[in-house]
Amino acid sequence: MIKTDILIIGAGPTGLFTVFEAGLLKLRCHLIDALPQPGGQCSEIYPKKPIYDIPAYPEILAGDLTHKLMEQIKQFEPGFTLGERADTIEKQEDGTFIVTTNKGTRHHAPVVAIAGGLGSFEPRKPPIPNIANFEGKGVEYMIKEPELYRDKDVVIAGGGDSALDWSIFLTDVAKSVTLIHRRNEFRGALDSVDKVQELKNEGRINLITPAEIKAIVGDDKVSGVEVHKKDEDPFVIHTDHFIPLFGLSPKLGPIADWGLGIEKNAIKVNNALDYQTNIEGIYAIGDVNTYPGKLKLILCGFHEATLMCQSAYKRIHPDKKYVMKYTTVGGVEGFDGTKKEAPKAVVKKIE
């Protein structure tokens, strides 16, 4: 039995930052994740994708963000159960929880924080009859290593942020980039749309809209795609890689059977207080939760994790009063091997 103060389900950015906020409160954390390494989607799906909305980082690769978070929490020595999925939860008579994974590993904690992002997921595949024959042979549903496309002809399909961002990124890597979308309008960030238009005007991106890819051409591997554009005859574009980026189909998995309030495949929480679910002691933070005005942004998950940890401290230590102190006042042990002590007169302590 693994015992901890806060059991975090999901080792993505929000789950990892929870360790830091809990550590400031002297709370121990253990994380469960079905993936074999920390980082969630940032490590598994798009480690080389640039992220632009992390404070103090004009641009940071998703994989580098994971590395920085792991460096930040190292001092608090969290435990990890990786490559295992949280399957069942049992509430004990004393209000604590036992969570068991699909491999039988048992975890015991008074607080459970679900930070599972989108949950378990698989890419949405376009309805192209022969696409399965080319998976791994030029068809990829996500980009993990951009160098795979170095000096290659690439066709990307989609109209969201991923399609726009990767089209922009790969212009400096691939021999050619073609972006195809079934509408003239895109769903992504306006600055990304403007950037794609700028690159098209410069002749660095071949933009085809409104159009759809109806077939893949090739024998043992992809050699082209058949494009259907309204009021035109179908035509074939040569390509080495076809990357349909139509998003992910998320599933909560076994967590959906834990008796939690669910709305549109997300866990309902009380955002007016502490992001607690309908079950006292179980919280949901990050992309996995929902509430009025919810924004699925990493930085919002960081905020939710911070408030959740304050509530968790009160649950674990109901007879103690915690007065928040700034890290600039009290310091954070571990970054330079020393503990930065504030002047005695201004230090606020846990009583």
For residue 10, is it within any domain?
Answer: yes
Q: What's the pTM?
A: 0.64
CA atoms of 38 and 30, how far apart (whole Å): 12
**pLDDT at residue 58 is higher than 80:** yes
- Do 204 and 282 lie in one domain? The reply is no
pLDDT band at 238 (very low <50, low <70, confident <90, very high): very high
Dig out the tokens for 126 from the structure.
């376009």
d(CA 315, CA 328): 26
Side by side, the strands of the sheet bearing 79-82 are 79-82, 29-33, 6-9, 111-114, 282-284
Radius of gyration of the chain (CA): 23
**Residues 51, 165 contacting (CB under 8 angstroms):** no
pLDDT, position 30 = 97
Distance, in Å, from the CA atom of 197 to the CA atom of 326, rounded to the nearest integer, reads: 45
**Residue 185 falls inside a structural domain:** yes
pLDDT, the chain, mean: 88
More confident residue, 274 or 324: 274
Ranges 26-30, 153-157, 205-209, 334-338: which has the least confidence: 334-338
Give the pairing of strands 222-229 and 211-218.
antiparallel
Task: Looking at the structure, tell me whether residues 52 and 111 fall in a common domain.
Answer: yes
Same-domain status, 14 and 93: yes
β-pairing, 262-263 vs 266-268, is: antiparallel
- Picking from 185, 220, 246, the residue at the C-terminal end of a domain is 246
**Which residues have a Cβ under 8 Å from the Cβ of 257 and sit 6 or more positions away?**
none
Mean of pLDDT values over 277-303: 94
For tokens 């059991």, the residue is 7
- For residues 307-331, give the mean pLDDT: 80
**328 within a domain of the structure (yes/no):** no
Q: What's the pLDDT band for 336 if we cut at 50, 70, 90?
A: very low
The phi-psi region of residue 229 (left if phi > 0; otherwise alpha if psi is between -120 and 50; otherwise beta) is beta
- The number of beta carbons lying within 10 Å of the beta carbon of residue 329 is 14
What pLDDT is recorded for position 324?
63
Say yes or no: 129 and 229 in one domain. yes
Asked which of 167-171, 186-190, 254-258 is least confident by mean pLDDT, the reply is 186-190
At residue 287, the 3 state secondary structure works out as helix
Query: Average pLDDT in the 292-300 region?
Result: 92
Q: What is the pLDDT of residue 49?
A: 79
Report the C-alpha gap between 141 and 187 in whole angstroms. 18
Residue 348 domain flag: no
Is residue 253 in a domain? Answer: yes
> How does residue 122 score in pLDDT terms, banded at 50, 70 and 90?
low
Same domain assignment for residues 226 and 89: no
Identify whether 351 is part of a domain. Answer: no
Over residues 146-183, the pLDDT tens digits come to: 899 999 999 999 998 889 989 999 999 999 999 999 99
- Alpha carbon distance 322, 330 (integer Å): 14
- The one-letter amino acid at 220: D
Domain end among 246, 276, 299: 246
Q: What is the residue range of 204's domain?
A: 125-246
pLDDT at 39 over 50: yes
d(CA 233, CA 227): 9
Q: How many domains does the chain have?
A: 2
- Tokens found for residue 174: 């691939």
In a domain, 23, yes or no: yes
Residue 216 and residue 269 share a domain: no
CATH code at 82? Answer: 3.50.50.60
pLDDT at 343: 34
Question: What integer is the mean pLDDT of 203-223?
Answer: 95
Same domain, 88 and 177: no
Question: Where does the pLDDT of residue 322 fall: very low under 50, low under 70, confident under 90, or very high at 90 and above?
Answer: low
Binned at pLDDT 50, 70 and 90, residue 348 comes out as very low
Q: Is 246 helix (H, G, I), strand (E, B) or coil?
A: coil
According to the model, what pLDDT value does residue 231 have?
A: 86
Could you give the residue ranges of the DSSP H alpha helices within 26-138? 41-44, 62-73
Token pair belonging to 39: 């980082």
- Band of pLDDT at residue 230, cut at 50, 70 and 90: confident
